[in-house]
């Protein structure tokens, strides 16, 4: 089961440690966050203790109003559940009773100067990405005219060479050879493994550093994939789509991505075809479909 180490969250957000047990490895399995106001009020039915707990100004001020014995009972019961951590927002002072029972049950307690809502949003975004379902795809990912394009095909078909020409034309590289794809916000976000970031392998030349060769404007750290270009060797016996009537899709992590199959043979300018495919896709997003215009003209002529 996928998880995020608490120390990674602490490092990313820059949380201050109030109490952190040395012999405890706290792990987070869900991106959902809970503000345990009901629990502090004494209601522990349906307590989502597996989530990171965040207390803001209202929870901390409410705790101060409680009778000392009631406060101890509720905080004791709160920390008796195996929560990943308690984070106190708004730079609020942490009650000594909270620290006492956190130490009793060895539950991490952390602080942040951020406002509660902002802190929760940042945490959710970070955890959703870290916990997102992911896969690694052999191919090249680029941004072409603002469209995230994943170029796939058999080894040696010309993916990197086509991509290099696209970069030379002003488009931007995300990842070459190994593309990390995460399912985030209902879409597919592509990134590059740290080891090969900004690098591209071209047979006969070797490893190229795209950032140094073409400048920082030639690379992107991440990009949502909106279409797939599938390169394949030209097959004389295969009937290829000539008017754009066929709609192909590639399924990645359960999401169907529009796909254009491009046959490769000597003399074809594949990089130009990829550019046109991206432009055509963008036209369709804006509501214009050339096939529909063609069909309309054809019907008018047939009358």
159 marked ligand binding residue:
yes
Distance CA 40, CA 221 (A): 43
Spatial contact of 250 and 240, defined as CB atoms under 8 Å apart: no
Does residue 46 come out as left (phi exceeding 0), alpha (psi in the -120 to 50 range) or beta?
Answer: left
Q: Is 100 a catalytic residue?
A: no
| Main-chain dihedrals φ then ψ at residue 154, nearest 5 degrees | -65, 155
Contacts 24+ apart (CB under 8 A), 300-303: none
Residue 154 assigned ligand-binding role: yes
142 Cβ contact partners less than 8 Å away, ≥ 6 residues apart: 148, 149, 151, 163, 166, 167, 171, 172, 173, 174, 223
Q: Which two tokens stand for residue 218?
A: 């030639």
* Three-state secondary structure readout of 96-110: HHHHHHHHHHCCCEE
Active site residue 211: no
153: left (phi over 0), alpha (psi -120 to 50) or beta: left
Q: Is position 242 annotated as part of the catalytic site?
A: yes
Pick the catalytic residue: 107, 152, 177, 220? Answer: 177
Q: Annotation-wise, does 296 bind a ligand?
A: no
Distance, CA of 114 to CA of 14 (rounded, Å):
10
C-alpha 14/C-alpha 121 separation (Å) is 15
Question: What tokens does 254 get?
Answer: 């359960």
Residue in 35, 107, 152, 159 annotated catalytic = 159
Does residue 201 have a known ligand-binding role? yes
* Residue 160 marked ligand-binding: yes
Whether residue 187 is annotated as binding a ligand: the answer is: no
Residue 104 annotated as binding site: no
**Residue 157, annotated as binding a ligand:** yes
138 labelled catalytic: yes
Angle at 239 (CA atoms; ends 236, 245), nearest 5 degrees: 150
Q: Are 258 and 248 in contact (CB under 8 A)?
A: yes
203, 242, 299, 303: which is the annotated catalytic residue?
242
Annotated binding-site residue numbers for Mg(2+): 160, 201
Tell me which residues are annotated as active site: 138, 159, 177, 242
Known binding-site residues for ATP equal 153-160
Q: Which residues are annotated as a binding site?
A: 153-160, 201
């Amino acid at each position: 089961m996928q998880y995020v180490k608490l120390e990674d969250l602490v490092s990313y957000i820059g949380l201050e440690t109030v109490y952190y047990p040395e012999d405890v490895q706290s792990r987070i399995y869900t991106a959902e966050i809970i503000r345990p106001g009901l629990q502090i009020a004494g209601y522990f039915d349906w307590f989502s203790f597996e989530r990171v707990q965040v207390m803001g100004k209202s929870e901390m001020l409410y705790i101060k109003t409680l009778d000392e014995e009631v406060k101890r009972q509720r905080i004791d019961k709160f920390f008796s559940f195996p929560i990943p951590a308690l984070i106190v927002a708004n730079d609020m002072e942490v009650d000594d009773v909270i620290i006492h029972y956190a130490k009793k049950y060895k539950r991490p307690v952390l602080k942040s100067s951020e406002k509660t809502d902002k802190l929760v949003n940042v945490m959710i975004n970070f955890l959703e990405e870290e916990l997102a379902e992911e896969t690694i795809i052999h191919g090249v990912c680029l941004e072409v005219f603002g469209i995230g394009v994943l170029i796939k095909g058999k080894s040696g078909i010309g993916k990197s060479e086509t991509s290099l020409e696209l970069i030379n034309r002003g488009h931007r590289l995300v990842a070459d050879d190994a593309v990390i794809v995460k399912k985030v916000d209902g879409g597919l976000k592509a990134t590059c493994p740290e080891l090969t970031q900004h690098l591209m392998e071209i047979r006969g030349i070797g490893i190229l550093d795209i950032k140094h060769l073409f400048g920082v404007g030639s690379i992107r750290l991440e990009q949502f994939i909106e279409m797939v270009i599938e390169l394949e060797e030209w097959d004389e016996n295969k009937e290829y789509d000539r008017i754009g009537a066929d709609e192909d899709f590639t399924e990645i992590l359960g999401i169907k991505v529009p796909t254009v199959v491009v046959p490769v043979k000597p003399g074809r300018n594949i990089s130009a075809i990829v550019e046109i495919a991206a432009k055509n896709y963008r036209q369709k997003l804006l509501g214009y479909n050339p096939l529909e215009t063609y069909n309309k003209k054809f019907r008018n002529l047939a009358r």
